[in-house]
């Protein structure tokens, strides 16, 4: 198993470290707010009250919803070039930040990130403390590297899920590669964002459910499933939207026709649900801690909220799932997405044509991926509708489905293999998925190198 797992973990570490250095500061979704959370924990050792000013320090003008003076200065220096390819991004050695003083580092932490659980930020704060006396860009890089570790853990969990779902290390290798190369995850696992912990913990929970497939009576798999769910709940409140998919996955792995399977899954998820809800009621003005849209004029304003057209659906659940907003402010040609769409259509065709030839585990996997995705989409649209009515804005983004990437990618693999079996092909077409994702990640990295360092 190790010869197959080691390259997956090594790829995740190398990819994350490379992108952590390549991506300019604060150019990923909400990174300034997330980093401010990390900085507050590392510098002061406590949380501010969400939604209220965290206090002022003599010599500063910081108030609620403001970053630390040095973070604000860094954001201002690089923000002018965002989404403007004709403007160069200032290199790190040319950045001029305020003098490094306690006043410059002070932050009230009244941003949207203050409602999130502290687990991810505690890990990142440890990395921050390791380089506490370094300049801001170095401290930011250290925090980013903590996300790289989450990415490596997630890739290992994806490998184990593939191993236990399909019963062979080759399939685990394929699923692990797809996870490590998923472009939007690649960004989250190389910048400061608590989605990194959510994605990794969700992958671990699905891996535990897959282990339950091999041994329906495994208490270790049950305990791992419960612990991974608690970690996910303390990473981000959107974990609660993943609970139905996790319950279905665990029950399907344990035997969906047995009431005990559903009861065991519910009992394993109950602590995570309780922890997640209790934290949100304690920390957030809204019990669900729903994220808000970006400021007027930001890129999130272009997200299609009500889209009757196929192009709108493609933008929201295609481009913003695989890779788009926040990825080096670059836009890849639509042809890259077309390749992925073709793979999805072929996988769906394989699921239909090869259904009778699938093993029971493969059928269950496809059903879990489909029902889990639907179970997450419905409440997402419900929350978006309520937010749209209240504020006129929306937070819908394709990346909110990424906690389900492990079962979704595994179902794509199964569908492609089903089509190949129906056609009598001997090669394994499942590797077409990580290959297509590698093309996107590679093209984006080359674009980024030309954009920022040419």
Taking alpha carbons only, the member of 258, 281, 273, 248 closest to residue 372 is: 248
Q: Provide mean pLDDT across the span 272-280.
A: 89
Average pLDDT over residues 82-89: 73
Report the pLDDT averaged over residues 238-254.
Answer: 91
Instruction: Look at the block and give the residue holding tokens 């040419």.
Output: 454
Cβ-Cβ contacts under 8 Å for 17 (sequence gap 6 or more): 145, 148, 190
171-200 confidence digits (pLDDT tens): 999 999 999 999 999 889 999 999 999 999
**CB count in 10 Å sphere of residue 53:** 15
Nearest 5°: the CA angle 91, 33, 50 is 160
Task: Tell which residue, 180, 182, 220, 224, has the closest CA to residue 202.
Answer: 224
217: three-class secondary structure by DSSP: coil
3-state secondary structure of 84: coil
Q: Is the pLDDT confidence value at 300 over 60?
A: no
Tokens of 2: 């190790």
Q: What span, in angstroms and rounded, lies between the C-alpha atoms of 180 and 363?
A: 25
From residue 304, alpha-carbon distances to 214, 317, 397, 398 in Å are 42, 10, 9, 11
Q: How many helices (H) and strands (E) does the chain have?
A: 18, 0
pTM of the entire structure?
Answer: 0.88
- Segment 411-438, tens digit of pLDDT: 999 999 999 988 888 788 999 999 999 9
Reduced to 3 states, what is the DSSP secondary structure of residue 205?
helix
Could you give the residue ranges of the DSSP H alpha helices within 324-430? 334-353, 360-391, 405-423
Q: List the structure tokens of 27.
A: 């150019």
In the predicted model, what is the mean pLDDT of the chain?
83
Rounded to a whole number of angstroms, the CA Rg of the chain reads 22
**158/178 Cα distance (integer angstroms):** 9
- Can you tell me the distance from the alpha carbon of 259 to that of 251, in angstroms, rounded to the nearest whole number? 9
Q: What tens digit of pLDDT does each residue of 2-50 get?
A: 789 999 999 999 999 999 988 888 877 788 889 988 988 888 887 765 5
If one counts every other C-beta atom within 10 angstroms of the C-beta of residue 178, the result is 29
pLDDT in tens, 57-73: 444 444 455 688 888 88
d(CA 386, CA 120): 28
The token pair at 127 is 């990395």
pLDDT in tens, 394-413: 677 888 899 999 999 999 99
């Amino acid at each position: 198993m190790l010869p197959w797992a080691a390259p997956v973990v090594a790829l995740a570490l190398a990819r994350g470290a490379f992108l952590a250095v390549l991506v300019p500061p604060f150019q990923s979704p909400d990174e300034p707010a997330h980093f401010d959370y990390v900085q507050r924990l590392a510098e002061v050792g406590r949380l501010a009250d969400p939604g209220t000013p965290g206090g002022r320090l003599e010599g500063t003008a910081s108030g609620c919803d403001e970053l630390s003076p040095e973070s604000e200065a860094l954001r201002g220096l690089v923000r002018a070039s965002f989404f403007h390819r004709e403007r160069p991004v200032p290199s790190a050695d040319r950045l001029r930040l305020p003098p490094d003083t306690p006043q410059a580092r002070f932050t009230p932490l009244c941003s949207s990130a203050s409602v999130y659980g502290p687990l991810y930020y505690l890990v990142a704060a440890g990395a921050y403390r390791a380089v506490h006396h370094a300049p801001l860009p170095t401290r930011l890089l250290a925090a980013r590297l903590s996300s790289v570790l989450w990415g490596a853990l997630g890739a290992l969990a994806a490998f184990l899920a593939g191993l236990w779902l399909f019963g062979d290390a080759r399939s685990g290798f394929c699923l692990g590669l797809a996870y490590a190369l998923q472009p939007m995850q690649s960004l989250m696992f190389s910048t400061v964002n608590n989605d990194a912990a959510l994605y990794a913990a969700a992958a671990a929970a699905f891996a535990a459910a897959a282990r339950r497939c091999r041994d329906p009576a495994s208490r270790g798999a049950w305990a791992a499933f419960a612990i991974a769910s608690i970690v996910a709940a303390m990473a981000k409140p959107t974990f609660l939207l993943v609970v139905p998919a996790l319950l279905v996955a665990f029950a399907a792995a344990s035997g969906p026709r047995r009431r005990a399977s559903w009861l065991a899954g519910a009992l394993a998820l109950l602590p995570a649900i309780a922890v997640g809800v209790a934290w949100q009621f304690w920390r957030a003005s809204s019990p669900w801690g729903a994220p808000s849209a970006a400021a007027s004029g930001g890129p999130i304003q272009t997200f299609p909220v009500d889209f009757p057209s196929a192009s709108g659906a493609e933008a929201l659940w295609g481009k913003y799932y695989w890779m788009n907003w926040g990825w080096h402010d670059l836009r890849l040609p639509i042809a890259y997405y077309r390749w992925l769409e073709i793979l999805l259509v072929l996988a769906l065709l394989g699921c239909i044509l090869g259904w009778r030839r699938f093993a029971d585990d493969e059928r269950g996997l496809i059903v879990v991926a489909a029902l889990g995705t639907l179970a997450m989409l419905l409440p997402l649209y419900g929350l978006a509708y309520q937010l749209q009515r209240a504020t006129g804005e929306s937070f819908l983004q394709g990346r909110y489905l990424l906690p389900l990437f492990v079962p979704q990618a595994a179902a794509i693999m199964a569908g492609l293999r089903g089509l190949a079996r129906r056609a009598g092909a001997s090669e394994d077409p499942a590797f077409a998925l990580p290959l297509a994702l590698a093309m996107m990640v590679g093209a984006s990295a080359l674009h980024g190198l030309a954009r920022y360092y040419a």
